[in-house]
Amino acid sequence: MIIDLPSTTTSQVNKKLVELREQGGAVALGRVLTLVIVTDDGARTEEAIDAANDASREHPCRVIVLARGARKAAARLDAQVRVGGDAGASEVVVLRLYGPLADEGASCVVPLLLPDAPVVAWWPFESPEKPSQDPIGALAQRRITDAAAERNPIKALDQRRESYVDGDTDLAWTRLTSWRALLAAALDLPPYEKVTAATVSGEADSPSTDLLAAWLSARLKIPVTRTKASSGQGIVSAVLERRSGAVALIRPDGKVGTLDQPGQPDRRVALQRRPVRDCLAEELRRLDPDETYEETLRALPKVVRGRAAPKKPAKAAKPKAEPAPAAEASPEPAAKPKKAKPAKAKAKK
């Protein structure tokens, strides 16, 4: 059920929520947190709401969407309340802010927060340079960004490193969970040899590729080279060098990966690129600081930028031997003359 409240106030929105709760019999105690989504009003707003609805089936919450509209318009607040099948396992409040209200999102959110429940802020697309200093970020215990959705993902990742505080996280880091689990499991198998170097290949603007290289550098204390893949999406391959041979995890098509280990047959593993709803649900499972993510951000400057990963060269055909010129042909050795046998004298009768 969707209820529109044009040109309204936050007190009227709160009153409508209480009315719907009394009619439907839902209680606020069933919500474990408040998820605040900050975005610009547009077609992509529904993508973020759908992802939050899917994540709410694992984490029942109140979703407040701040959709900032035209700043040159008159000050106005249009609200929309969604419950039931249109809100997953949550209740969704969409606040469309126009004019000067577009920069006053925090004051509109505070009256709608659940009491005694943690607050999580999520910027699904463009995010502030310092999320912890944003008015919405200051209200939240957990701040979720997505460097891959920025105009310049690599630059956005550097900003995350410079502005990191406890509670910050990024969905580019969450997309690495399967890669980190497979590589760690591969090193738990014999032979238990030290990794001497590593190479991670991926798209030039893939922040997850940079984070995977930094994670390997931080955890294994080895030099890691980050190269640009000639084809493929996101992370394409990760190769760990050991004395007995390399451990290679390769995903050329973005769906299925191949794990290659010395002395073992190749294994095909599921490595499909994770959708936003799965990454968001994983991040909502924890509200404490992510020390591993912080350590990985600190290791980003240690990653070595390499050249583009070369394609596998084709085997060159063996050149045919050309016959030597007649003038330079070596003469055949002359046959040795046979010694003539001496004739036997006939006996005289």
Q: Tell me, what's the pLDDT at 29?
A: 53
Please, what's the b/e burial string for 160-199 (b: 16 or more CB within 10 A of its CB; e: otherwise)?
beeebeebbbbbbbbbbebbbebbeebbeeeeeeebebbb
Residue type, 80: Q
Is there a cis peptide before residue 223, judged by omega within 30 degrees of 0? no
Are 141 and 213 in a shared domain? no
Flag whether 158 is in a domain: no
Q: Within this chain, do residues 114 and 193 fall inside the same structural domain, yes or no?
A: no
Is there a domain that residue 107 lies in?
A: yes
**pLDDT at residue 25 in the model:** 62
Confidence of residue 22 (pLDDT cuts 50, 70, 90): confident
pLDDT at 90: 80
**Both 6 and 84 in a single domain?**
yes
pTM, whole model, 2 decimals? 0.85
The pLDDT score that the predictor gives to residue 123 is 98
* pLDDT at position 133 over 70: yes
- Could you give the percent of the chain with pLDDT greater than 70? 86
Q: Which two tokens stand for residue 258?
A: 């191949």
Most confident by average pLDDT, 67-76, 144-153, 182-191, 321-330 = 144-153
* Residue 140 and residue 183 in one domain: no
Structural domain includes residue 319 = no
> How confident is the model over 27-31, as a mean pLDDT?
62
Q: Structural domain tally of the chain?
A: 2
> What mean pLDDT comes out for the span 138-162?
96
- Radius of gyration (C-alpha) of the chain in whole angstroms: 34
Q: Is residue 333 part of a domain?
A: no
d(CA 342, CA 112): 130
Q: Are residues 132 and 199 both part of a single domain? A: no
Instruction: Tell me, yes or no, whether 6 and 114 share the same domain.
Output: yes
Contact 217, 200 (CB under 8 A): no
Give the model's confidence band at 108: pLDDT under 50 very low, under 70 low, under 90 confident, else very high. Answer: very high
Q: Is 60 exceeded by the pLDDT of residue 222?
A: yes
Neighbours of 51 (CB within 10 A): 20
**Contact yes or no for 126/151 (Cβ under 8 A):** yes
Residue 332: inside a domain, yes or no?
no
Give the confidence band of 88 by pLDDT, cuts at 50, 70, 90.
confident
Chain centre to alpha carbon of residue 269: 17
pLDDT score at 308: 60
Q: How far apart are CA 132 and CA 138, in angstroms?
A: 6
Residue 99 is encoded by which pair of tokens? 């004019």
Residue 328 belongs to a domain: no
Which residue range(s) make up the domain with 239? 177-305
Q: Residue 347: inside a domain, yes or no?
A: no
CA dihedral 38, 41, 45, 49 (to 10 degrees): 60
pLDDT at 273 over 50: yes
pLDDT higher than 70, residue 328? no
pLDDT of 198 over the 60 cut: yes
Sheet of strand 2-5, all strands in order from the earlier edge strand to the far edge: 2-5, 76-82, 91-98, 61-68, 33-40, 119-122, 142-145, 168-170
Give me the CATH number covering residue 117.
3.40.50
CA 123 to chain centre: 16
Between these two residues, 328 and 249, which has the higher pLDDT value?
A: 249
Q: Is the pLDDT of residue 228 over 90?
A: yes
Domain boundary among 288, 305, 322: 305
**Domain for residue 312, yes or no?**
no
